[in-house]
A and B are shown apart, each in its own frame.
Chain A
């Protein structure tokens, strides 16, 4: 088998690429494979992809407004973020919250963190303070648990929802 790229040398490296859920098989000679992996490393920053995702195709006015916003803590502008695909500091998340929330939702399918938090660790083990999830969050978790047939988890979620709802009624 000859190399797919140069067609001259025997193909010794076989790789599978997945681009947009499309699988491609590539058979390359060692030389072309080296070029290829160098090119992939450059891309690896994901920045192009992210920069593309952060575009506001539908709201050109909104984009202009967004691009000018700067994080006062680190000086990174939203235009910078679009260019490099990286935020400048933690505070950028506060400053660009309005634009980042939909972006995070597109990347992760959610913009609400569920999971551990650093305060938990700071409080002594005797008094674990767990941040309670909101009602809407619990309900969506319940839905997921039922779909996944995780009935034990579903039952515990149902109890938590009940507890929250009765609390709300009292308020």
Chain B
């Protein structure tokens, strides 16, 4: 697989399938692991970073589930390629900075990604479509077991897996669920929900992690605590919370359908109308309108556009994807034009 192949490919987690996929976009688990006897990446010399990269890549070549995977060496990628990997949720923004001896391994389905020399030596990530943390855990647990046989992990009985930042120590695990909550946002109940989540030591972030911007009604919820609970407990805790939020979103949707059906139908169809006919559109507006179209599709108000097409549009209308598709560097204004063109093409094609 080459980086250019990615744009013609749909990631496994974007398929819009799996449990509760009307509200849950994806479930993700990541494990932070480090090698014994090597300093953490920020504290390591170039020679040491090379050693880490070599040891990790040799081990990963022996893991069955990673056999078909492709290595991307960050120092060899230009800025658009790096951004493309971020837009596809295959790596963090942090991984695009100071790229020496950094790499990311991605499998063909794009549901497994392993970052080397990010904040920790290894950041293993597994993404699933829909509400599916346990399945994600089963797969990633297997990969981790296979790697543990080949690598000497930094681990202590009392503190667990040792990580560069003490906020990840213990299980080294972060479980995240990406939710689409338009009805809670429109009915102004989201503030209450988010406040409750913050009290329970979970974090809420936007579509792209880091910067907390939650645009287009997308919210990523993950555990903060990684020490003192087993992996299963952590997942159960997240699941319990997510189940409640799904329930509340479903109720809010139901209430809107009974009380404000016409208004909702109007908003959804106007959103689709703009997307189908706009000539200039920003990425922010795209996300907001697509969010409404996705709701329309979930509620059966829009029947000719499937979830997968909508999910894909979220990703391919991002700046790096547009520039990759056009195969030329584009200014922000040029992107807004090309974005509108691409959306029109995709949406008018399916209907």
Using CB atoms and an 8 Å cutoff, list the residues of chain A in contact with chain B. Answer: 12-18, 21, 23, 25, 30, 33, 36-37, 40-41, 44, 46, 50, 73-74, 76, 84-90, 93-94, 100-101, 103-104, 107-118, 120-122, 131
Contacts and interface: CB of A to CB of B under 8 A. Distances in A.
Contacts of B170: 104, 108, 113, 115
Given A50-B167, A76-B43, A89-B40, A116 B141 contact: yes
Contacts of B40: 86-89
Contacts, number: 169
Given A100-B166, A115-B170, A86 B42 contact: yes
A108 B191 contact: no
Interface in B137-163: 141, 144-146, 148-149, 153-163
Contact of B214 (A16, A74, A117): A16
Contact of A114 (B145, B163, B230): B230
A74 B159 contact: no
Given A40-B210, A111-B158, 16 more contacts: A14-B215, A15-B215, A16-B191, A33-B213, A87-B40, A90-B37, A90-B154, A100-B159, A108-B169, A110-B227, A111-B228, A112-B227, A113-B228, A114-B228, A114-B233, A116-B231
A13 B34 contact: no
Contacts of B225: 107-110
Nearest to A90: B154
B228 A84 contact: no
Nearest to B93: A41
Contact of A23 (B159, B163, B191): B191
Contacts of A94: 156
Interface centre among A23, A40, A103, A118 (most CB of B within 10 A): A118
Nearest to A39: B211
Contacts of B259: none
Interface string B170-214: 110100000000000000001100110011010010100011111
A109 B195 CA distance: 20
Nearest to A20: B198
A36 B156 CA distance: 39
The 9 closest A-B pairs by CB, nearest first: A110-B228, A113-B160, A90-B154, A121-B148, A121-B145, A37-B211, A108-B227, A118-B148, A88-B43
A90 B36 contact: yes
A122 B161 CA distance: 15
Interface string B286-327: 000000000000000000000000000000000000000000
